[in-house]
Structure 1
Amino acid sequence: MKRTIMMLAAPLLLTALFSGAGCVARPPAGEKEYDVAEERQLLEIQKSRIVDQLNEMRRREQEEVRQRIESVASRGPQTITLRVDDEIVVEVWLRDMLQQQDGYPREITIPPDGRVVMPSIGEMNILGRSPEELQNDIRERLDLLLNHPTVKVRVEKHVGAKVSILGEVKMNPNRDTGPGTYEIEGETLLSSFISEAGGYTENADIRNIRVTHANGESEIMDLQRVLDGHIEENIFLNGGETVYIPEMTRLSHVIVCGHIAGPGIYPLDEGMMLSELIADAGGVARRGTERRVITVRGDRYHPKVIKSNIHRVYTRGEREEDLLLKPGDTVYVPKSYISLYEDTLRLILLPVTTVRDMYFLEDTINDD
Structure 2
Amino acid sequence: MAVEAYQIGVDDIVQVSVWRNPELGITVPVRPDGMISVPLIGDVAAGGRIPADVAKDIQEKLAVYVRDPQVAVILTELRSHEYLSRVRVTGAVRQPVSIPYRPGMTVLDAVLAAGGVTEFAAPDRSSLYRKTPDQTQSFSVRLDRILNRGDLSTNFTVAPGDVITVPERVL
Category of TM-score, reference length = shorter chain: 0.5 to 0.7
Superposition pairs for residues 336-351 of structure 1, below 5 Å? Answer: 336-337=169-170
CA distance in 1, matches of 2:124, 2:59: 52
8 Å contact kept, 1:296–1:306 = yes
Moved over 6 A (4+): none
- Structure 1 residues 233 and 262 mapped into 2: Cα distance closer, same or farther (>3 Å)? farther
Which residue does the alignment assign to 2:91?
A: 258
CA distance in 2, matches of 1:79, 1:298: 46
Which residue does the alignment assign to 2:58?
A: 232
Which residue does the alignment assign to 2:167?
A: 334
CA distance in 2, matches of 1:263, 1:233: 47
Task: Give the deviation of 1:289 after TM superposition.
Answer: 2.7
- Structure 1 residues 313 and 224 mapped into 2: Cα distance closer, same or farther (>3 Å)? same
* Structure 1 SS opposite 2:102: coil
Structure 1 unaligned runs (5+)?
6-57, 81-221, 239-243, 339-368
Task: Give the deviation of 1:276 after TM superposition.
Answer: 1.1
CA distance in 1, matches of 2:93, 2:59: 44
Deviates more, 1:303-312 or 1:225-234: 225-234
One of 78, 84, 87 as aligned partner of 2:20:
78
Task: Give the deviation of 1:301 after TM superposition.
Answer: 3.0
- Structure 1 or 2, whichever has the larger Rg, is 1
8 Å contact kept, 1:292–1:309 = yes
- Structure 1 residues 232 and 255 mapped into 2: Cα distance closer, same or farther (>3 Å)? same
Superposition pairs for residues 136-147 of structure 1, below 5 Å? Answer: none
Which residue does the alignment assign to 2:4?
A: 2
8 Å contact kept, 1:226–1:233 = no
Normalising by the residue count of structure 2, what TM-score does the alignment of the two structures yield? 0.57
Superposition pairs for residues 1-368 of structure 1, below 5 Å? Answer: 2=4, 62=11, 64-65=12-13, 68=14, 72=16, 77-78=19-20, 224-227=50-53, 231-232=57-58, 236-237=69-70, 252-299=85-132, 301-337=134-170
CA distance in 2, matches of 1:330, 1:4: 24
Structure 2 unaligned runs (5+)?
23-46, 63-68, 76-80
Percent pairwise identity: 18
CA distance in 1, matches of 2:161, 2:50: 23
Point out which structure has higher relative CO (alpha carbons under 8 A, 6+ apart).
1
CA distance in 1, matches of 2:21, 2:157: 51
Normalising by the residue count of structure 1, what TM-score does the alignment of the two structures yield? 0.29
Task: Give the deviation of 1:255 after TM superposition.
Answer: 1.5
